[in-house]
Structure 1
Amino acid sequence: DTAGYTDQIFGLFHLFGIRFAPRIRDLSECVLFSFNNTEEFYKTIKDIVKGRINVKSITDDYESVLKLAHSIFIGKVSASLILEKLGSYSRKNSMAKALREMGKIEKTIFILEYISDKNFRRRIQRGLNKGEAMNALARAIFFGKFGEFRRRALQEQLQSASALNIIINAITIWNCVYLNKAVDHLKQNGGFDESLLNNISPLGWKHINFLGEYKFDLNQNGHLKELNL
């Protein structure tokens, strides 16, 4: 989302062969970049194409940027650490500047596609909705102490976060088991549209008991409840 994007992230994603597609707040205020003189080549959109790409900066440090991306790719260094370091470097740092210039190219292409392609915008929104659904499930589970980590020690906070992830994964897997059973049932009766799978999510929790007593019958382990279709 908006808080998680920079020009350098756009550049790194491109080097990894992955399309970075965030939702950017105040998109109309973003500056687009070009290689050419905007007055001559982009007369109709010259008011929004205000930046110029420094090609020399990219060519001079391209090898260094590739080495940096390779170090991240093979796991020699974490992406979060590298981005933190790059963010702290002076704007005059040549490698950071080269990656930033590459990112400006990718960001410009992304923005132009975003504003001109309705289906592209919908795909991004669907992806964001999945993330929001995961966050909503986490909030529903983590209701104790108003959803706040009250322990001071970092290790104890990490343990609480890990426990939350385990529960989220358990609910997701259990939902997938039942969704698979429901799909098989509908297929056997010849009434299932495969295209609907793209709109199904295993993140629902209305049927999950977050409160009260939990009773486990070892003799019933592995059995599924009947479907109410």
Structure 2
Amino acid sequence: MFGSGTLSSSDGQRFPTRGKSITARHLNKYFVSEGISTYTHVSDQHSTFGTKVIVATHREAHYVLDEILGNATDLPITEHATDTRGVTLVNFGLFDLVGEQLSPRIRDLGKITLYRMGAKSDYEERFPTAGPLLTKKANLDLVADHWDDLLRLAGSLKYGHATASLIVGKLSASSRRNALAAALKEYGAIRRTIYAAKYLSDEGYRRKIARQLNKGESLHALRRQLHYAREGKVIRRQTEQQNEQAWCLTVVTNAVVCWHTEYMGLAVGELRTAGRGVDAEVLAHISPARSSVVNYYGSITVDYERELAQLDEKGHRPLRTAGMDEPGAGL
């Protein structure tokens, strides 16, 4: 109900650090002293399948493709959503060349330059409303001249001969004198124009992208709550150790999401067995990134024999009913 696993999104989340680190930077907007960013990739099933520690002042758009191409899970990702910080013309071009769809939510979308394939007069005549919006003619000859090089570049990324973050960073910073970078940006501008037309004309598509980005934000909130130790600060100094700490947080987050998903399914099954209708469309908007049942603090004493005695034949705990949550009810 949550999704087919083909759509994902990515976003950065900032954490303060304790002590000096080569990845930590001063950002007065987010930290009292210094901090880092963790860039996470989330599927439409609320699972986190990619986590990487990056320098907080680096541009997030450079890291969008890394976990998509390095996806070691069974998720068949074909489309990826980001916010404005994950968008560049280079990313639009590379996503299409490697067979993926970049679907960002672009701030101030009305201010981007839209490209056309032919003469301005022809497009204004054919499309009286949209034609005047296509203000620039695409340089198709430049793209055609470097098409083989663009395919080789995409192949190098797809088969792991080069990291996407390195290539995207280099090409994004290249000037127009770099013919390959210019051709890729031109192709990316064409793909962005096609995407903008689809995004503006399809309200359902816009809602799908917004819903996916909201899933990422809800997981950010859950990670923030789970990361309470050491006052929520990253205490490791080496990049490898910081990545280990970030992945530990990801494992715990996925465990909480998995637990809630399992028991939500059991609750829905019991309601339907009792004859109550539960709309699948409503379930698609329910998030398992919850924390109300998580005990964050203190020592926890567990009576193993009592707990095991409550489990059914499949190992599930008994579901709580509405009456059990009333004041005075035993839990």
The TM-score, its normalising length taken from structure 2, stands at: 0.63
Q: Aligned in 2, Cα 1:40/1:152: closer, same or farther, shift over 3 Å?
A: same
Structure-1 residue corresponding to 2:137: 52
Pick which of 78-87 and 189-198 moved more. 189-198
Structure-2 residue corresponding to 1:12: 94
Q: Find out whether 1:91 has 2:173 as its counterpart.
A: no
1:28 and 1:194 map into 2 onto residues whose CA distance is 35
Instruction: List, as ranges, runs of 4+ consecutive aligned residues in structure 1 with deviation greater than 6 Å.
Output: none
1:63 and 1:32 map into 2 onto residues whose CA distance is 25
Q: Which has the higher strand share?
A: 2
1:26 and 1:228 map into 2 onto residues whose CA distance is 47
Q: Which has the higher helix share?
A: 1
1:215 and 1:159 map into 2 onto residues whose CA distance is 29
2:216 and 2:302 map into 1 onto residues whose CA distance is 31
Picking from 205, 218, 228, the partner of 2:291 is 205
Q: CA deviation at 1:7?
A: 0.8
Q: Aligned in 2, Cα 1:113/1:100: closer, same or farther, shift over 3 Å?
A: same
Picking from 263, 277, 280, the partner of 1:194 is 280
Structure-2 residue corresponding to 1:22: 104
Q: Aligned in 2, Cα 1:105/1:150: closer, same or farther, shift over 3 Å?
A: same
Gaps of 5+ in 1: none
Q: Find out whether 1:41 has 2:129 as its counterpart.
A: no
Give the secondary structure class of the aligned counterpart of 1:112: helix
Structure-2 residue corresponding to 1:78: 163
Structure-1 residue corresponding to 2:32: none
What is the percent sequence identity of the aligned residues? 35
Q: CA deviation at 1:173?
A: 1.1
Gaps of 5+ in 2: 1-82, 309-314, 323-331
Residues 63-97 of structure 1 show CA distances to partners (whole Å, capped at 9, x for unaligned) of 11112112222233222222122223333222222
Pick which of 196-205 and 125-134 moved more. 196-205
Q: CA RMSD in A?
A: 2.1
Summarize the alignment of residues 168-183 of structure 1 with structure 2, pairs less than 5 Å apart: 168-183=253-268
Summarize the alignment of residues 23-172 of structure 1 with structure 2, pairs less than 5 Å apart: 23-42=105-124, 44-45=129-130, 48-172=133-257
Aligned residues: 229
Pick which of 7-16 and 37-46 moved more. 37-46
Give the secondary structure class of the aligned counterpart of 2:284: helix
Q: Aligned in 2, Cα 1:50/1:185: closer, same or farther, shift over 3 Å?
A: same
Pick which of 151-160 and 105-114 moved more. 151-160
The TM-score, its normalising length taken from structure 1, stands at: 0.89
Q: Is the 8 A contact 2:175 2:182 kept in 1?
A: no
Give the secondary structure class of the aligned counterpart of 2:136: strand
Residues 110-165 of structure 1 show CA distances to partners (whole Å, capped at 9, x for unaligned) of 11222222212111111111111111111111234553324332233222212111
Q: Aligned in 2, Cα 1:144/1:91: closer, same or farther, shift over 3 Å?
A: farther
1:96 and 1:19 map into 2 onto residues whose CA distance is 20
1:78 and 1:154 map into 2 onto residues whose CA distance is 17
Give the secondary structure class of the aligned counterpart of 1:128: helix
